[in-house]
Amino acid sequence: MEHLFAPWRMRYLRGESRTASNGGCLLCEIPEKGVSRDRLVLHRGSLCYVVMNAFPYTSGHLMVVPIAHGASLSDYPTDTLCEMTKLLKECEGIIQKVYQPGGFNMGINVGHAAGAGIAGHLHSHILPRWEGDTNFLTTVHETRVVPEDLRESYDRLLPFFQHL
């Protein structure tokens, strides 16, 4: 019998991943140091930043996050939303080069009822997807297998973000 260990998931299950070290908003705290392997920040623009999801659905799962705090699209000026969209476009191209997926899921969940893990700070997700990437673990056991370590993914993606 094989065993799948994912001890890092316990932080997510306990809710430790949703609050900052000071008890505030995690998504406000993450970009404070700019591009950072420790915080998984790949790029910081003037209004938004790109960060790897610490609890990814797939390798290459990224998030584009406004630097300013706000819970929904209506909380942001158009220039922030334009930069967010521009960065999603850049992420799509970079993920395509690095992972060669067959497609993408992109989305924004506004509020807990919509599935937002951090409902108080708007963020968008972009996930590479491949034909047949749903397997029995996901379907039957509600478990995902992410085949690549987060830091390895970071190291593969970072060079492509350095030109932005």
Task: Write the pLDDT tens digit of every residue in 66-98.
Answer: 999 999 999 999 999 999 999 999 999 999 999
- Rounded to whole angstroms, the Cα distance separating 70 from 78 reads 13
**Active-site positions?**
123
Q: Where are the alpha helices (DSSP H) in the chain?
A: 9-13, 26-29, 78-99, 136-141, 150-161
- Long-range contacts formed by 134-141: CB under 8 A, 24+ apart: 137/4
- Report d(CA 74, CA 76) in Å as an integer: 6
CA nearest to 81, candidates 113, 58, 110: 110
- What residue spans define the domains of the chain? 9-161
pTM: 0.80
Domain 9-161: give its CATH code.
3.30.428.10
- What local confidence, expressed as pLDDT, does residue 119 receive? 87
- The mean per-residue pLDDT over the stretch 103-115 comes to 90
